[in-house]
Chains A and B, each alone.
Chain A
Amino acid sequence: MAFLIVAPHRLNGYFVNLIYITLVYVGLAYGWNIISGYAGYFSFGQITFFGLGAYATGFAINAFHVYWMLAALAGGILACAFAFPLGYVMLRLRGPFFAMGMFGMAQTVRVLITALPATGAGAGLFLPPGSDVTSVYYWTLAVALGAIALTIWIDRSAFGLRLQALREDEQVAGTLAVDVTRDKIAAFALSALIPGLLGGGFIYFLNYIEPDAAFSSRFDLQSIVMAILGGVGTVWGPLIGGVLMTQISEALWAKFPQFYLMLFGGLLVALLILLPHGIVPALKRRYE
């Protein structure tokens, strides 16, 4: 922990950058884990909120010249607020219908946002020159730690138990006096807040954003795979999966620029065959 706090002052730019991107992935995996791991609504579209947060932040910085963290905070809150009406509609779908619905939603939101003149459409959006990497690092560290703390709380709270009840059987949970609609929308909004806040940091980090980067399906898929590899619906799964995957990917990528995708894919398949429920559940079974 102390290491993560002093890192920007002790390590070179590359390692700060590597920890930064690891934290982004870990945060995204935690965000996904709330709605998809705990509540059982498998989403393929959490990047919607990341992109929304990024563009809202960029717009606020360019239009109102506010300090970037305030803009990113507003971006996160906007993404979270948007999740309420969206969740009210989308969470009526279940299983693969919800997963595909969210995938479509990400594309729809992307098209709508980039149709606004203020976003520069496909040409992208530049921020005023100069970005301070250290502040983005701390912002992202805070969001990732917040996401972990939130998950610990959910895991121990009555709210978390209700989410798990509706994951196992939504109808039974409904008959047991659980207000399933309210709970799942709350879970959806929390899982939107985290990518929203991270997206705000991301645009400031790059100083420029375009739709492919803001609504990157790579971010979505990789963070889902990280959560699955670590253990879906567990407190530490997204952290372990996220850190492990980014480090392995980075090591292969640097050593084998021509081969790394194949090696990485093979390794991932092997891990998932060996540990179908993820690392954390496998460890639990072994030591209990």
Chain B
Amino acid sequence: MGYKKKNRHVGIVGVGETKFSSHREDVNQAEMIHEAVRQALDDANLTMDDVDCVVHGNMELFEMIHQPDLWHTLGSGAYGKDAFRLTTGGTTGGTLACAGDNLAASGMYDVVMAIGFEKLQEGHTTGGITNMADPLWARKLQSGALTDSAAVKLIEEFGAERARRAAMTYRIIMDKHACLNPNSHRAFGLDWDQMDDLMENSPPLIGDLRLIHMCSQSDGACVVIYASEEKAKQITDTPVWVRDHITVHREETLDLCNNYYPTDTTHRFAAEKLYERNGITNPLEYFDVFEMYDPSAWWGTDWLKEFFLLEDDDHLKLVENKEIMIDGKMPINPSGGVIAANPIGATALVRVAEAAKQIRGNAGPHQIQKPVNHALASAFGGTMWTVLTMLEKELNW
């Protein structure tokens, strides 16, 4: 690992999120981005003149447009500034967060604005994703972005009844959180008495993955402003410090000799390394909130085990005992998570923005009532990308 300690500390000083929804006909792409940019600038009490560098990210080809960062300048404010574009698939938002942190930590820029956006309604995601597959071996065989691999795994391990019930419990908890978050795209008002009906009657997609389990296709943008320690302290009384982040990626098709998940998942590998180098022995105790990139309720349920380095059925118990609820022992996605809104290029940055707001204590109706000092945010993308970001209230490590 080429990991080195950061050159200087970096804090999050401003966040902005649009309302997420299925359609935003009222604004074009640049205008939608601008809503989040304006919000983040207002949140940080900065003007665009204070920003040194703009990092822009979305999914390659999802809006079927080329070099969107260039003509989004009208909304992003990148005119005359140093600017970069990132497109690392579903992890784009996570990579944006890494870039914002790294660019500010490097000393090259004092204030860096990271912008993630997606307008999925305008494009054709399958068309975009299809371009990822190897034209020779895989393009004619793939099914798109959906998989029930996590369902297969959980059902094999814990039996269909318990696994299905756990996944649906996870789903209903996420909806209850989504109902608290005014930015949610989908907030149905699901309740526990609907469990059996949903498990039986929600339209099946692949295997045990049903429509209700799956994330949406959303329009929206998210902006996070990063500043060097010195600047961050000048800008705000409540900077949220970026302690560390880690990226792990594995191309699964290069390892076909093993079965699926051949060794550790990238999630577990990333979590182990991150905790190890930051001296965290019990992540479940350490963190006060986890904003997880959970594309489906099955994945969300399964991945708890990976991110918290759990054994046996501890992750299922967390879900079954509703410890992942906003007022539980380990609140997961008080925002409602990715199932509530998935503007893909923004999604992982929203996790970081939401985690930062929880630490600041001004998340709004979905603010965790207990003090939040340590937050974790994850990003996920194909084929197996993991980005983890650790945020802290105090600069004391």
A and B assemble together = no
